[in-house]
């Protein structure tokens, strides 16, 4: 683990921000910095799962991540190539789940790549996704979830799209640190992503 990932794991906010600034000065890309931080929060998650950290530590890691993102978000606009493709992307964290730091990164990155993003927020019920896809005619829907208890809810959203007769019009990508090909298959999504850039690339392909 890098010094930045360790500082995040140890919840040393001052050190984290200092190391982020140091990397920015060196010209390290915001996405690489996010990847390093993700390694740190994954370690926090593991410490929580093994009972060494408690909810307070989990919350604090989220706050540090948000402070990091406040620094990085304005810079995401300069990430990627010049070519900008228009298209509408509806996104939200599914019902039962309130994790949104990763989703917000996806939103920023999509916007910086020229997409119109409709962000429905967190704990979003299936019907709200369906209504927004119908209303906007969006060709891509992104569902975020970090809890494995919310996988059935991702499937529920996709089933609701089918019932509404909208499934053929919209491609669905599920995202979050613990999604996988198996989750994609189970939910009936078209793709899955464990990083934000995959979501941008997927949307670009759909709108090409």
What's the token pair of residue 148? 């494995």
**What would you report as the CA-atom Rg of the chain, rounded to the nearest whole angstrom?**
17
What's the token pair of residue 20? 């982020």
d(CA 155, CA 162): 11
Looking from the CA of 22 toward its CB, the CA atoms found within 13 Å total: 8
In the list 36, 100, 119, 153, the residue contacting ligand B12 (rule: CB under 6 A) is: 100
Which is closer to ligand B12, CB of 39 or CB of 159? Answer: 39
The reply on whether position 65 binds ligand B12 by CB under 6 A is yes
Q: Which stretch binds ligand B12 (CB under 6 A): 8-16, 22-30, 124-132, 174-182?
A: 174-182
Which helix (H) or strand (E) segment holds residue 20: the answer is helix 13-26
Query: How many helices (H) and strands (E) are present in the chain, helices listed first?
Result: 9, 5
Shortest gap between Cβ of 191 and ligand B12 (angstroms)?
Answer: 8
Q: Which stretch binds ligand B12 (CB under 6 A): 18-26, 58-66, 125-133, 152-160?
A: 58-66
Shortest gap between Cβ of 103 and ligand B12 (angstroms)?
Answer: 5
* Coil/strand/helix, residue 116: strand
Q: Which residues inside 134-173 make contact with ligand B12, applying CB under 6 A? A: 142, 144, 146-148, 173
d(CA 83, CA 203): 14
The reply on whether position 86 binds ligand B12 by CB under 6 A is no
Which is closer to ligand B12, CB of 36 or CB of 160? Answer: 36
Q: Which residues inside 176-205 make contact with ligand B12, applying CB under 6 A? A: 176-178, 193-196, 198-199
Which residues of this protein are in contact with ligand B12, per CB under 6 A?
34, 38, 41-42, 44-46, 48-49, 55, 58-59, 61-62, 65, 91, 96-103, 105-106, 142, 144, 146-148, 173, 175-178, 193-196, 198-199
């Amino acid at each position: 683990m890098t010094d930045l990932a360790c500082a995040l794991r140890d919840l040393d906010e001052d050190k984290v921000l200092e190391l982020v600034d140091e990397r920015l000065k060196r010209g390290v890309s915001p996405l690489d910095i996010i990847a390093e931080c993700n390694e740190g929060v994954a370690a926090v998650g593991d410490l929580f799962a093994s009972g060494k950290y408690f909810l307070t530590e989990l919350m604090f890691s989220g706050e540090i991540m948000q402070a990091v993102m406040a620094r990085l978000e304005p810079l995401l606009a300069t990430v990627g190539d010049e070519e900008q493709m228009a298209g509408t992307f509806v996104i939200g964290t599914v019902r039962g789940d309130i994790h949104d730091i990763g989703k917000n990164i996806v939103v920023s990155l999509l916007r910086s790549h020229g997409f119109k993003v409709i962000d429905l927020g967190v704990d979003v019920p299936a019907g709200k996704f369906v209504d927004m896809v119908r209303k906007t005619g969006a060709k891509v829907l992104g569902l975020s979830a970090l809890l494995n208890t919310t996988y059935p809810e991702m499937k529920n959203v996709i089933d609701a799209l089918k019932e509404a007769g909208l499934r053929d019009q919209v491609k669905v990508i599920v995202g979050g640190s613990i999604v996988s090909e198996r989750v994609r298959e189970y939910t009936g999504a078209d793709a899955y992503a464990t990083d934000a850039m995959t979501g941008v690339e997927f949307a670009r392909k759909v709108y090409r």
